């Protein structure tokens, strides 16, 4: 089972995202801009299991809140992306 996130931008509605394509759309970036743990760029509609959450937080101004399961993972924008 792939990981999914509830993403809450500063201005906009929260969205549940399951793929690289949807996350990039909600955040307002290109898919290849999403940081990965493997260092390889993400493809269209790729599972978010390879997303580097720490790098994502720093790059896009989000805070990660989650637990040990794939079910309660939230990315909350705390500063606008530069």
pLDDT of 29 reads 95
From first to last of its 82 residues, the chain has per-residue pLDDT tens of 688 899 999 988 899 999 999 999 999 999 999 999 999 999 999 999 999 999 999 999 999 998 665 567 899 999 876 5
pLDDT at 7: 94
pTM: 0.88
- Whether the Cβ atoms of residue 27 and residue 9 lie closer than 8 Å to each other: yes
8 A C-beta contact, residue 62 and residue 76: yes
- 61: which DSSP letter? T
Residue 5 to residue 21: CA distance in whole angstroms:
13
């Amino acid at each position: 089972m792939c990981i999914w996130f509830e993403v809450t931008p500063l201005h906009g509605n929260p969205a549940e995202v399951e793929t690289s394509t949807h996350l990039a759309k909600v955040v307002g970036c290109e898919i290849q801009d999403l940081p990965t743990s493997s260092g390889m760029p993400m493809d269209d509609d790729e599972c978010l299991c390879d997303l580097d959450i720490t790098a994502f937080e720093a790059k896009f101004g989000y805070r990660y809140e989650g637990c040990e399961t794939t079910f309660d993972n939230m990315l909350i924008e705390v500063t606008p992306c530069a």
